[in-house]
Amino acid sequence: MAAVNLRKPTGLKVRKLSIHVVTWNVASAAPPLDLNDLLQLNNQDLNMDMYVIGLQEMNSGIINRLSDAAFEDPWSSFFMDVLSPLNLIKGNKGGVNICLKVYGYYVSIINCHLPPHMSKNDQRLEHFDRILEMQNFEGHDIPNILDHDLILWFGDMNFRIEDFGLHFVRESIKNQCYIHLWEKDQLSIAKKHDPLLREFQEGPLLFPPTYKFDRNSNDYDTSEKRRKPAWTDRILWRLKRQSQAGPHIPRLPAPYFSLSLRSYVSHMVYSISDHKPVTGTFDLELKPLVSAPLITLMPESLWTMENNMVVSYSSAPDFPSSPWDWIGLYKVGMRHINDYVSYVWVGDNQISFSDNLNQVYMDISAIPKTADQCLLCYFSNNLHSVVGISKPFQIPPRFFLREDPLGEAQLQF
């Protein structure tokens, strides 16, 4: 799930975007009552541009799966109840990878759940490689995932702490002495030997192991199994390797695309699961590769007549338009792309003033006259994505022509 802020403007100068990544194995539990700590909503210094939320073991029971076939899952619904008032909208996929194009750069987001148990380390590493090999976007003119500018990879990776016994591990945690545990962490060990895994970075593990806890407590496993604690829940990232500068290869201006980690923490306050959630907050700094969005919607030129609103927009010269593209009208605070209050197919009722400027008529007869702010989104059928979002606006008053008894036309509002 990715939620994107609609408030930040575009531009050609170097831009800094803040990204908040959440990974949490929720063990089939229902959402908690409060997400403020998890989403850092109480931090007045943070103004997130994007939330990336990956959950594991969500609604794994058969009853929940049948329910999800008819209704939106409660976790996605709950997160968007919190985030939509902040002008963020949801992108949700059933697979393990979401590919985004951010100012012309390719960003891949991978949420995974690798095999459990101490003895399955080789299988975890095999699955890691297999996931990368399978991420080919055939037919969409998208480069191989290893050629993407940024990969954010997170999830319940299930890597364990080798060699040390339960008592030593628990005493180290109690004394906040993690340095010896890092040396036996399976993921840290694998990064030293696996060339591809070594390219992924991770922040310092300065928080307690996030597995396994008794539910509704901060106590590590007291069941008969008494599982050894481990940092199973991780957030990694990989920046694309850049060509080295040489006599005929100019050095790129720095930083033109860089990612810095602001915080990497667990959240002990949440106890509904046997895992604690982990979050990473990043600053992504980049120089845009595109000068304008594919579609620019122009709410400042909106006007209404009777039951129709005229929407103006321009498109980039290389935009792959389709008669199945559509423009939706939304109230600010939308939760999903399907939450439109009205829409129009761009191939219908369209007037073209030039090759680059178009207008369409949208039926607004069913929209009540309220003071709610609205926005427009352009959905591309070929790209399967929203490619243009307007600034918030209010629908202008409708007017129509009425002929008075003297035969003179009068403008009515």
Average pLDDT over residues 56-82: 66
CA pair distance 51, 325, nearest whole angstrom: 27
- 358 has a pLDDT exceeding 70: yes
**pLDDT more than 70, % of the chain:** 82
Predicted structure pTM score? 0.82
Mean pLDDT of the chain: 84
- Contact 390/376 with Cβ under 8 angstroms? yes
Element (H, E) at 128: helix 121-134
pLDDT band of residue 133 (cuts 50, 70, 90) is: confident
- Per residue in 261-274, pLDDT (tens digit) is 999 999 999 999 99
Q: pLDDT higher for 355 or 261?
A: 261
State how far the Cα of 151 lies from the Cα of 240, in Å rounded to an integer: 8
Question: Would you mind telling me the total number of residues written for the chain in this entry?
Answer: 413
Interval 139-186: pLDDT, tens? 567 888 999 999 999 999 999 999 999 999 999 999 999 999 999 999
Domains of the chain: 2-286 (3.60.10.10), 295-400 (2.60.40.2840)
- pLDDT(92) > 70: no
pLDDT of residue 134: 80
Give the model's pLDDT for residue 4.
58
> What pLDDT shows up at residue 41?
92
| Partners of 6 in the β-ladder | none
- Kindly state the helix (H) or strand (E) to which residue 166 belongs, with its residue range: helix 166-174
Residue 408 has pLDDT above 60, yes or no: no
Give 76's pLDDT tier (boundaries 50, 70, 90).
confident
Mean of the pLDDT values across residues 381-399?
84
CA-to-CA dists, residue 368 to 361, 392, 398, angstroms: 18, 17, 11
Confidence of residue 413 (pLDDT cuts 50, 70, 90): very low
Structure tokens, 198:
């070594």
| pLDDT (0 to 100) of residue 220 | 98
- Residue 93 pLDDT greater than 60, yes or no: no
Average pLDDT of span 379-394: 90
- Of 182, 49, 46, 45, give the one whose Cα is nearest residue 103: 49
230-263 pLDDT tens trace: 999 999 999 997 654 444 544 444 458 999 999 9
| Burial (0-12, 13-18, 19+ Cβ within 10 Å), 162 | middle
How many other C-beta atoms are found inside a 10 Å radius of the C-beta of residue 84?
19
pLDDT of residue 379: 95
Helix or strand holding residue 193 (H, E)? helix 186-193
Task: Show Cβ contacts of residue 339 under 8 Å, excluding neighbours closer than 6 positions.
Answer: 330, 331
Question: Is 351 a residue whose pLDDT tops 70?
Answer: yes
Strand partners, 261: 282
| Identity of the residue numbered 91 | G
**DSSP-derived secondary structure letter, 392:** P
pLDDT tens readout for residues 259-312 = 999 999 999 999 999 999 999 999 999 999 887 888 999 887 777 777 788 899
Which comes out higher in pLDDT, residue 378 or 402?
Answer: 378
Q: Are the CB atoms for 69 and 62 separated by under 8 Å?
A: no
Examine the pLDDT at 137 and tell me if it is beyond 80.
no
Q: What is the pLDDT of residue 365?
A: 80
Question: What pLDDT sits at residue 58?
Answer: 82
- State the average pLDDT over residues 368-395: 86
Question: Which residue, 62, 4, 51, is CA-closest to 24?
Answer: 51
Choose the weakest-confidence range: 10-14, 235-239, 389-393, 394-398: 10-14
